[in-house]
Structure 1
Amino acid sequence: MVLFASIFRASDGLPLVALTDFDGQRSNVKHAQRYVKLISKKLHQLPDRCTLQSDDYVIHFITIPPQNISVVTVLDVSYPSVLGFCFLEEVEKEFIKQYDSRQVSAAVRPYTFMEFGSTLQRQKQRYGSPRSLNTRVNVADMSQQLKMMPPFQIAAEDVEPTYGGVLHKNDYGPTVTPVAQLRLPLGWLGKLSAMLNVICAVLNLTRGMSVINDGHIHVDLTEINSFVYGAAFMLTSLFCIYQIFLLYTHSRWKKSKTYVTSILMCLCQLVTWELRNLLQIGFHFLANLLITFIILYRLGLNKVPDYHV
């Protein structure tokens, strides 16, 4: 069930509205509220769709930069995540219908929009009984969204107060991981693209070494041409590995690096074109295009839809 919900101004964490009808005596709710408060102070640093999970509860939140708001909810650990994000999305849409970004920016005091609390309470009651939800809740679409772009998984340590980069919990705690380095979890398609590129890297490396060392290929080549073809195979192998690196890591100018790497791979493929059959050519180009698409697609996955109503 939905235990708690609140809306904050994303730029500075000012609370705009919160549920007042909740069991504040439950230890897990009180503990979760502490982390909700800590999260609110770092909303401008965190990705736009995140999850923090503990043994007793789950915190989901989404941020809508154009409207400068973040919607946060605390759920029972057994409550389906897809319904939790459906709840956040509906609350966000309702809020945007009633208030615009100028009103949000003009708010000075905490809980300026407490009249919206009745809407929060109504949505909480609706989602308290998942079986009674009507068809307006498009669970299938949200399930697909979460499969294609899973929320960032953050840990309690990522939002704990710090002094000099060390956790406030104790003077010898681990260094906090910079939020910018958080990685979006890979879906099955991303893992498939990485696996295909590993295969391509091994195949190109093996073929390149064979061409350079022995010249065992199916056409007559001069020594110079043999070296050129071998170098092209070896470079393609390195580009495959670098694309996997880009897929898994945060990097400056990642989009530009991805485009350049993909183009260079295509050029190397053209150099070795006559040494492959159509099946091999198709496989290598498909692997290149797939991982390029996944890398570029993931760059925008931390942005939730911009609703203008």
Structure 2
Amino acid sequence: MSMIFFACVVRVRDGLPLSASTDFHFNQDFLECRKRLKALSSILAQYPSRGTVKGRDLSIHFLSSGDIACMAICSSTYSTVMAFCFLEELQWEFAASYDMTSIGLASRPYAFLEFDNIIQKVKCRFNGANRFQMKDNWEKMEEELKFQPPVQLKLEDMELMNGMANGGHAGVHVEVVPTYRMQRVTPLGILSLVLNIMCGALNLIRGVHLAEYSFQCYLYLFYSSARKMKTFVLLFSVCLCNIYLYGLRNLWQIAFHIGVASLSSYQILTRQLMEKQPDCGV
């Protein structure tokens, strides 16, 4: 039966699945085809915008534009033109529903799972349509495929990508590393080397002189500051001594004047007492 079995939208740069139709097919051929589709989605950036993987019963078609790609698993008898018409319409619907910023920021698989409803509607419409019902889209896509045919891949290539060949291990591609020989130095190269060495030596000498000058300036400032500090301490000490000595001299003078005043008062008081005593004559 010619029909579309599965469709999904992935991000091209890393193959992250953004949305996919619900699976109702569990036969072994379909599951193997899904594995190949997953392997292909991770390397879509290596291929052109359109491609087809032909198989005996099932085929994979993909259409990429910008950072998103639409992929579908169809029966091998399903029309290639109709398959790309389906992928193109699916791509328009997704681009109209989500902006590139949200697509670029998506970090988990199936971040736009709600788009599954639109995938199912478009898939049902194309499964029930024929060439004459979509005449305009058919003719346009047919011309595009003639002008730019899709790249044709083989299922064997997908098996190697998925690691299913050679007992579950992909073949190792061995490439001989080319040997390189060093070329002789030209006279111009020697001259350039000598000039670079001379410039480096001159810069080194200038750096040493600059360091020496800076050190001398630092020592001068240090000793100059030390002399100024010593002078300040000396003058401050002299001032303290003057204040101390002046205070002691004033104290001595005050004590002397107090002593003299006390002695004078005592003499006056004694004289007054002697004058008031009566005479004791016989």
TM-score range, shorter chain: 0.5 to 0.7
Once residues 159 and 138 of structure 1 are traced to their aligned partners in structure 2, the CA distance between those partners, rounded to angstroms, is 30
Structure 1: any 5+ residue segments left out of the alignment? 177-309
State the 1:24 CA deviation.
Answer: 2.4
Matched, 1:18 2:17: no
**2:160 and 2:171 in contact (8 A); partners too:** no
**1:61 and 1:88 in contact (8 A); partners too:** yes
Q: 1:60–1:162: structure 2 CA closer, same or farther, 3 Å change rule?
A: closer
Match of residue 6, structure 2, among 4, 7, 21: 4
Give the structure 2 partner of residue 117 of structure 1.
116
Cα deviations across residues 225-258 of structure 1 (Å, max 9, x unaligned)? Answer: xxxxxxxxxxxxxxxxxxxxxxxxxxxxxxxxxx
User: Normalized against structure 1, the TM-score is what?
Assistant: 0.51
Q: 1:48–1:175: structure 2 CA closer, same or farther, 3 Å change rule?
A: farther
Q: 1:77–1:168: structure 2 CA closer, same or farther, 3 Å change rule?
A: closer
Q: 1:102–1:137: structure 2 CA closer, same or farther, 3 Å change rule?
A: farther
Q: 1:133–1:105: structure 2 CA closer, same or farther, 3 Å change rule?
A: farther
Please show how residues 150-189 of structure 1 align to structure 2 within 5 Å: 150-161=149-160, 169-170=165-166
State the 1:47 CA deviation.
Answer: 1.8
Q: 1:52–1:135: structure 2 CA closer, same or farther, 3 Å change rule?
A: closer
Give the structure 2 partner of residue 42 of structure 1.
43
Once superposed, which parts of structure 1, at least 4 consecutive aligned residues long, lie more than 6 Å away?
171-176
Once residues 139 and 161 of structure 2 are traced to their aligned partners in structure 1, the CA distance between those partners, rounded to angstroms, is 40
User: Normalized against structure 2, the TM-score is what?
Assistant: 0.55
Letter of the aligned partner of 2:36 in structure 1? Answer: Y
The DSSP-based 3-state class of the residue aligned with 2:44 is: coil
State the 1:148 CA deviation.
Answer: 1.8
Once residues 170 and 105 of structure 2 are traced to their aligned partners in structure 1, the CA distance between those partners, rounded to angstroms, is 39
State the 1:150 CA deviation.
Answer: 1.1
Cα deviations across residues 85-131 of structure 1 (Å, max 9, x unaligned)? Answer: 00000000000001111111000110000111000000110011123
State the 1:137 CA deviation.
Answer: 5.6
State the 1:46 CA deviation.
Answer: 1.9
Structure 2: any 5+ residue segments left out of the alignment? 174-282
**2:11 and 2:17 in contact (8 A); partners too:** yes
Identity of aligned residues (%): 33
Give the structure 2 partner of residue 60 of structure 1.
61
RMSD, aligned CA: 2.4
Q: 1:41–1:160: structure 2 CA closer, same or farther, 3 Å change rule?
A: farther
Once residues 49 and 92 of structure 2 are traced to their aligned partners in structure 1, the CA distance between those partners, rounded to angstroms, is 16
The DSSP-based 3-state class of the residue aligned with 1:34 is: helix
Give the structure 2 partner of residue 72 of structure 1.
71
Q: 1:71–1:48: structure 2 CA closer, same or farther, 3 Å change rule?
A: same
Cα deviations across residues 122-173 of structure 1 (Å, max 9, x unaligned)? Answer: 011001112398448610111111122110001234344569xxx7511798
Larger Rg: 2
Q: 1:135–1:60: structure 2 CA closer, same or farther, 3 Å change rule?
A: closer
Once residues 133 and 19 of structure 1 are traced to their aligned partners in structure 2, the CA distance between those partners, rounded to angstroms, is 26
**1:55 and 1:77 in contact (8 A); partners too:** yes
Once residues 36 and 93 of structure 2 are traced to their aligned partners in structure 1, the CA distance between those partners, rounded to angstroms, is 25
| Corresponding pairs, count | 170
**1:86 and 1:137 in contact (8 A); partners too:** no
